[in-house]
């Protein structure tokens, strides 16, 4: 089946093709999901000391304190086991870390320059965590060096965890040998700080720990740190989405298509007004007329009932229609009484001196038109 672009300008054709582009639709879907994410960190200690949480070692210190069974959070191996569960979930069967291999685990900061090392001297198992939440750069052969040093001490490395703020920062392998890659890649698990999934650090671990915490002090710390991670994670999501869009817009044709699409979107509310006026131009009774006011709304003008003149304004914006009933000239019947008589009052709320009902665009488009038809029909059945 061929596309029918007959009668359309080149700008309109480009805009239509842009809407149907699967890459751009994917970016748009990400943006829509991002806009639905609401993060309110509230009165947050970590945000109050904002200079501190931006330092490279800040997140590592917090994570070490939570992972360490010997710390004063009072939950022993609980948080560590939840972290191991996250690793297994994220690995999707590629590797399995046994919690029993870490029953006597100790957690270290900067041992052998490793950000966070989880090791069990009895089982001789270890997990390496490299924290890049603050986007620190990799040192030469960083992960292979860490792994080799531990293996020389007799440890079996179960996982190498790379904590990231977003997908753009990956381990730098430019100076790795083939042996390095064969050693590291099967054990490498990349975990994002926050991407609104059950496999990120926020929802996949911190939220799970919070739900399993009874100590009020520990609960408060985890809750505030979780809020911080979600806040900085949302900002990273926004940057990631915009980077994808920017890359796509560097193509001149796509950029001009986007400009055309933006113009069409800006013109869409006016088109929707005109469409209502045209649809009901010859069937607006019992109103005297229908017209467009200042390119802002469609007006059903003057329905007379009990010496009151009623009118309807329908205002569109990008996402809604605002269906407003009001008294053009007061008389014996109020708008509240009128809507009560025709059985519609429960669907309205008072906005200033008007009663208003909201219809969403585009999902309620057909609902609105059917509603207008039925509303006019109910009014026509009223006896003067």
State pLDDT tens for residues 82-123.
999 999 999 999 999 999 999 999 999 989 889 999 999 999
Q: How far apart are CA 230 and CA 281, in angstroms?
A: 51
| Pair (60, 78) in one structural domain | yes
Taking the alpha carbons at both ends of the chain, their separation in whole angstroms is 55
Residue 21's closest CA among 254, 272, 342?
A: 254
| Pair (97, 193) in one structural domain | yes
Q: What is the mean pLDDT of residues 155-160?
A: 96
Which of 268, 303, 331 finishes a domain?
A: 268
Q: Which residue has the higher pLDDT, 191 or 38?
A: 191
| Pair (101, 227) in one structural domain | yes
| Pair (190, 258) in one structural domain | no
| 223 located within any domain | yes
Which of 248, 280, 296 finishes a domain?
A: 248
| 32 located within any domain | no
Residue 139 DSSP label? P
| Pair (232, 279) in one structural domain | no
Placement of tokens 């009072």 in the chain: 74
N residues, the chain: 384
| Pair (125, 209) in one structural domain | yes
Which of 218, 237, 268 finishes a domain?
A: 268
Asked if the model's pLDDT at residue 162 lies above 60, the reply is yes
| 2 located within any domain | no
Q: How far apart are CA 277 and CA 295, in angstroms?
A: 11
| Pair (86, 57) in one structural domain | yes
Give the per-residue pLDDT at 251.
79
| 195 located within any domain | yes
Which are the contacts of 78, defined by CB distance < 8 A and separation ≥ 6? 209, 212
| Pair (202, 328) in one structural domain | no
What is the extent of the structural domain holding 131? 45-248
| Pair (231, 275) in one structural domain | no
Q: Which residue has the higher pLDDT, 261 or 163?
A: 163
Give the per-residue pLDDT at 18.
56
Q: Is 93 exposed, middle or buried (0-12, 13-18, 19+ CB in 10 A)?
A: exposed
Give the per-residue pLDDT at 105.
96
Residues 301-343 pLDDT 10s: 999 999 999 999 999 999 999 999 999 999 999 999 999 999 9
| 34 located within any domain | no
| Pair (125, 195) in one structural domain | yes
Asked if the model's pLDDT at residue 2 lies above 50, the reply is no
| 35 located within any domain | no
Q: Which of 82-86, 208-212, 261-265 has the lowest average pLDDT?
A: 261-265
| 191 located within any domain | yes
Q: What is the DSSP string of 297-351?
A: EEEEEEEEETTEEEEEEEEE-SSEEEEEEEEEE--SS-HHHHHHHTT-GGG-EEE
| Pair (290, 261) in one structural domain | no
Domain count, the chain: 3
| Pair (112, 156) in one structural domain | yes
Residue 113's closest CA among 60, 52, 175, 176?
A: 60
| 33 located within any domain | no
């Amino acid at each position: 089946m061929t596309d029918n672009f007959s009668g359309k300008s080149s700008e309109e054709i480009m805009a239509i093709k842009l809407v149907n582009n699967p890459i751009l639709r994917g970016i748009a879907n990400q943006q829509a999901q991002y806009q639905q994410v609401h993060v309110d960190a509230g009165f947050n200690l970590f945000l109050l000391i904002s200079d501190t949480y931006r330092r490279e070692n800040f997140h590592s210190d917090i994570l070490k304190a939570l992972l360490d069974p010997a710390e004063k959070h009072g939950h022993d191996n609980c948080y560590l086991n939840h972290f191991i569960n996250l690793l297994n979930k994220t690995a999707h069967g590629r590797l399995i870390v046994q919690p029993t291999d870490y029953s006597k685990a100790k957690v270290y900061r900067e041992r052998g320059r490793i950000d966070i090392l989880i090791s069990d001297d009895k089982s001789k198992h270890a997990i390496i965590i490299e924290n890049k939440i603050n986007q620190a750069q990799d040192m030469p052969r960083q992960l292979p060096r860490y792994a080799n040093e531990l293996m020389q001490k007799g440890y079996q490395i179960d996982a190498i965890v790379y904590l990231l703020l977003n997908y753009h920062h990956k381990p730098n392998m430019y100076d790795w040998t083939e042996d390095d890659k064969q050693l590291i890649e099967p054990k490498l698990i990349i975990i994002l700080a926050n991407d609104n999934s059950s496999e990120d650090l926020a929802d996949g671990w911190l939220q799970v720990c919070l739900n399993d915490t009874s100590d009020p002090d520990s609960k408060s710390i985890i809750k505030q740190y979780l809020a911080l991670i979600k806040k900085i994670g949302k900002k990273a999501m926004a940057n990631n989405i915009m980077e994808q869009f920017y890359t796509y817009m560097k193509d001149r044709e796509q950029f001009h298509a986007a400009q055309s699409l933006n113009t069409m979107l800006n013109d869409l509310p006016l088109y929707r007004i005109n469409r209502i006026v045209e649809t009901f131009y010859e069937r607006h009774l019992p109103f005297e007329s229908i017209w467009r006011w200042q390119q802002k709304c469609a007006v059903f003008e003057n329905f007379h009932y009990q010496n009151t003149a009623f009118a309807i304004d329908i205002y569109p914006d990008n996402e809604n229609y605002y269906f407003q009933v009001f008294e053009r000239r007061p008389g014996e019947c109020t708008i509240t009484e009128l809507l009560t008589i025709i059985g519609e009052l429960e669907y309205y709320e008072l906005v200033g001196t008007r009663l208003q009902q909201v219809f969403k665009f585009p999902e309620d488009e057909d609902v609105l038109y059917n509603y207008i038809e039925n509303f006019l029909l109910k009014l026509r059945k009223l006896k003067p």
